Amino acid sequence: MSNQKFRALIIDDSPTDQQTLSHLLTKRLNCQIETANDGLEGIDKLSRQRFSVVFLDMLMPLMNGDEVLKEIRGYPATADLPVVICSSQADPKLVKSVVKLGIFDYVLKPYNKEGVTRLVATFERLKAHAEESTSDDAPAENGRPVLLVADADNNFRHFVVTTLSEKFNVIQAGSGALAVSLVLKQRPQVLLAGPELGILGRDKLIQKLRASKATDGLKIFAVDGDNKQKGGFDSKLFEGTVPRTYIPEVFLKAIDQILVAPAVRGPNGLSVVEQLKPALVSATEQVFGMMMAVEVSETAEPTTFAPDAQALVGTISLSSYSEEKKLTITFGCDKACAAVLATKMVGEKKQVDGEEPTHRALAEVMSITGGRIENTLDEQGRTYLLGSPRVEERQGIDISSPGASLTHFVGEGGLRFCIAISASPCPSRKVAKTDLKEGWVLAQDVPVANAEPVLKGTQLSAETLSQIQSIGPEEIEIFEPV
């Protein structure tokens, strides 16, 4: 995709907005453009042509944007197509509804200076997404170890792929951000890191990888190890160096010298918390960007709060009765950050006073973030049920706990907060059979006289509830409802 133009479909009934967005995408971002004046025309073009991305207005005649989005997601050929909502509507309920359907971003009109900046940033993420989708297929199961070359120079990446294809399954990344994603997904044994990797520079990238248990056993080598690149590099972060050369014999000899039969990594041993951390970070960044038009990002430096700070803490849980596991996502911030968050939710022009708006804003963030994690687990074939958010005020913002993954975030306007995700056994308790309720899930097999037992993990229907209450044992163990 990196060497091809994006094909974008703009579905918008406003000729002015169509023209403005088309000009931006063609002149500044090198896209090929098709337009549709309403949802029906857009769906017709999607059924007959292939596009890289859809830019979709919300308020249109014949079919609104949310109706078009449902059609896109319901058709197999476009179910995973990136969709960017471009709308003047900033109602959090509307944003939440389309986020649940699956969108790439939500950009507010009009296309002023801030809107154009946001669109350019969104397009850069789209390019990274397209590159990842073309590089993300699992390497062939041929017994060869996996090597990732991360370098902004497309020619050098191509050289590495063609030169090392007989020794390795080679995957490639043109940026540091994509390299992190591929390391976590593909689990390579070897990483060749070039000096130019975009915003996430080489040393910073390697520091992040070294701090993660997911990279245990990964051998990392610096490209251009002769230190000719401006700024050099931190040699302590690397196992060695690889010269930047386009002579196959020289490059192969260097690879043979630094690598001694790298062992193939074993099965994925990550805990569910470690597996979900990248998804939680991505969900948090997108929720803030789409709901509040605020860019937040993970920071390696822990955000510090006064020990006696008045904190706002939100939690939401996801429970799996088949895995007997509960995941808890916890969000912590001080009152000043909570006020900024609430102000962003209701609009910059409105002032937020009192406690109620901050509680509502944090609950909304927790609901949508939790929903994103629920979708991630569902894509893995794992059924987790999302509970309701809880928000409370607390003295102090320490939300860390043993085994939890804690991430710190910063953002414009004074946003500083942290999010933790932890796993624990799915709690259960015994209740009298007369207190059972429809929808609860059994945490034990329940023997029933003259009938087959009702099995553990069964969600009580009206029929099974009546059966157990009439002839089952007096006490029943159930999983605590989410």
Comparison of pLDDT for 85 and 6, the residue scoring more: 85
Whether residue 298 sits in one domain with residue 375: yes
State residue 225 phi and psi, 5-degree precision: -70, 0
Q: Could you tell me how far CA 173 lies from the centroid of its own chain? A: 18
Whether residue 103 is predicted with pLDDT greater than 80 in this model: the reply is yes
Assigned domain for 244 exists: yes
Whether residue 280 sits in one domain with residue 197: no
Q: What is the pLDDT of residues 163-216, one digit of tens each?
A: 888 788 888 887 777 777 778 777 888 899 988 776 657 887 788 777 766 666
Strand partners, 319: 326, 385
Whether residue 359 sits in one domain with residue 277: yes
pLDDT of residue 389: 93
Whether residue 382 sits in one domain with residue 448: no
Q: What is the pLDDT of residues 108-153, one digit of tens each?
A: 888 887 778 878 878 777 776 665 554 444 444 455 788 999 888 8
Sort strands 31-36 and 390-395 into parallel, antiparallel or unpaired: unpaired
**Is the link from the previous residue into 139 a cis peptide, with omega within 30 of 0?**
no
Assigned domain for 266 exists: no
Residue ending a domain, choose from 119, 134, 149: 134
How many domains does one find in the chain?
4
Give strand ranges (E) for 24-153: 31-36, 53-56, 83-87, 105-108, 146-150
Residue 80 three-state SS = coil
Assigned domain for 265 exists: no
* Mean pLDDT, rounded, of the chain: 80
Comparison of pLDDT for 364 and 266, the residue scoring more: 364
Assigned domain for 378 exists: yes
Whether residue 186 sits in one domain with residue 235: yes
Q: What is the pLDDT of residues 236-261, one digit of tens each?
A: 778 778 888 888 888 888 887 766 43
Query: What is the token pair recorded at 372?
Result: 């994103």
pLDDT of residue 129: 63
Residue ending a domain, choose from 410, 425, 440: 425
Assigned domain for 264 exists: no
Whether residue 384 sits in one domain with residue 276: yes
Strand partners, 479: 428, 441
Q: What is the mean pLDDT of residues 439-449?
A: 83
pLDDT classification of 55: cutoffs 50, 70, 90: very high
**Are the C-beta atoms of 188 and 146 separated by less than 8 Å?**
yes
Q: What is the pLDDT of residues 450-477, one digit of tens each?
A: 777 888 888 888 888 888 888 778 888 8
Comparison of pLDDT for 272 and 13, the residue scoring more: 13
Assigned domain for 83 exists: yes
Phi/psi zone of residue 238: left (φ > 0), alpha (ψ -120 to 50 degrees), beta? beta
pLDDT of residue 137: 44
CB neighbours of residue 229 within 10 Å:
16
Whether residue 455 sits in one domain with residue 387: no
Whether residue 157 is predicted with pLDDT greater than 90 in this model: the reply is no
pLDDT of residue 136: 43
Q: Which of 345, 307, 346, 311 is nearest to 331 (CA)?
A: 311
Q: What is the mean pLDDT of residues 212-229?
A: 68
State residue 362 phi and psi, 5-degree precision: -65, -40
Helices (H) and strands (E) in the chain, counts: 13, 22
Say which range, 234-238, 263-267, 422-426, has the weakest mean pLDDT: 263-267
Residue ending a domain, choose from 104, 134, 164: 134
CATH number, domain containing residue 117: 3.40.50.2300
CA–CA separation, 209 and 218 (whole Å): 9
CATH number, domain containing residue 461: 3.90.105.10
pLDDT of residue 347: 59
Whether residue 380 sits in one domain with residue 254: no
Q: Could you tell me how far CA 37 lies from the centroid of its own chain? A: 32
Whether residue 196 sits in one domain with residue 250: yes
Q: What is the pLDDT of residues 301-351, one digit of tens each?
A: 777 777 777 889 999 999 888 778 889 999 999 888 888 888 887 654 445
Which structural domain range is residue 244 located in?
Answer: 139-258
Whether residue 92 sits in one domain with residue 38: yes
Whether residue 411 sits in one domain with residue 277: yes
pLDDT of residue 80: 78
CATH number, domain containing residue 277: 3.40.1550.10
Assigned domain for 205 exists: yes
Whether residue 400 sits in one domain with residue 285: yes
Q: What is the mean pLDDT of residues 55-74?
A: 88
State residue 342 phi and psi, 5-degree precision: -65, -40
Assigned domain for 320 exists: yes
